[in-house]
């Protein structure tokens, strides 16, 4: 088993090899799925990916990673009777659901995260993101059954000194905290194969969970570690 409460700067397909089977209590992740290709015009009041990456339906230089390459590893490392949360867009939802089923997971339901910002498109403006909840093995209720499957959590993105986002697809800590608290207990282990700016790790720190994460991009890896150290310091002061 690899060291807990640490992010590794490597491809999750490599990192998974060091994670023991049936050792993880929860997986929460926002994978680099393929986006709908967009141009470079205005945003009509919302976010808009610009440049060659956007034209190819990508946000990150490393590109997207097909779920079929990593979902079986998620199933292997999770304990029986545990949950996995995977964020996805409309374009990939049907494909993701099929791959999740093929891997052995049991589909539970989809959650909807409603965002304050809107992204323009050809039909309706997009203001939500889908979160797939699946289980390994037996049914397991969430810890707070009163939680709605529609989550209204503001997404106030943090900026670097140059005014740019810390991470293009950064999720709010409060959103990850809801998922972590509902599907794990204190001191259990939460894995995020695509850690990004470290939001899942911070949610774990704030709720007394252990975490393991992988992040391929060195820039985001450094940002995540900086945020994690700050969260640990703030928690220590609070105690």
pTM of the predicted structure, to 2 decimals = 0.85
Rounded CA-CA distance 122/206 in Å is: 40
Q: Which of 7-11, 55-59, 83-87 has the lowest mean pLDDT?
A: 55-59
Average pLDDT over every residue of 98-116: 96
3-state secondary structure 107-121: EEEEEEEEEEEEECC
Rounded CA-CA distance 204/179 in Å is: 10
Q: Which of 88-92, 132-136, 158-162, 200-204 has the lowest mean pLDDT?
A: 158-162
Average pLDDT over every residue of 172-192: 97
Q: Which of 32-36, 74-78, 115-119, 186-190 has the lowest mean pLDDT?
A: 32-36
For position 156, what pLDDT does the model report? Answer: 59
Rounded CA-CA distance 111/150 in Å is: 6
For position 157, what pLDDT does the model report? Answer: 55
Token pair of 26 as six digits = 């929860």
Average pLDDT over every residue of 21-34: 94
**pLDDT greater at residue 110 or residue 124:** 110
Taking a C-beta distance cutoff of 8 angstroms, is the pair 65, 8 a contact?
no
């Amino acid at each position: 088993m690899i060291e807990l409460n640490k992010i590794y700067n490597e491809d999750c397909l490599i990192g998974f090899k060091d994670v023991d089977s049936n050792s993880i209590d929860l997986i929460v992740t926002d994978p680099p799925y393929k986006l709908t290709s967009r141009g470079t015009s205005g945003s009509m009041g919302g976010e808009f990916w610009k440049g060659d990456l956007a034209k190819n339906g990508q946000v990150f230089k490393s590109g997207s990673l097909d779920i079929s390459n990593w979902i079986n590893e998620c199933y292997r490392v999770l304990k029986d009777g545990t949950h996995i949360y995977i964020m996805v867009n409309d374009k990939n939802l049907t494909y993701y659901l099929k791959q999740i089923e093929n891997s052995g997971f049991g589909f539970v339901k989809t959650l909807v995260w409603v965002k304050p910002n809107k992204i323009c498109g050809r039909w309706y403006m997009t203001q939500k993101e889908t979160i797939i909840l699946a289980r390994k093995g037996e049914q397991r209720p969430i810890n707070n059954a009163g939680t709605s499957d529609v989550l209204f959590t503001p997404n106030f993105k943090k900026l670097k000194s140059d005014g740019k986002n810390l991470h293009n697809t950064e999720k709010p800590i409060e959103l990850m905290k809801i998922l972590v608290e509902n599907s794990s207990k204190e001191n259990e282990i939460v894995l995020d194969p695509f850690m990004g700016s470290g939001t899942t790790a911070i949610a774990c720190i704030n709720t007394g969970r252990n975490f393991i994460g992988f992040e391929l991009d060195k820039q985001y890896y450094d940002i995540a570690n900086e945020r994690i150290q700050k969260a640990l310091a703030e928690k220590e002061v609070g105690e």
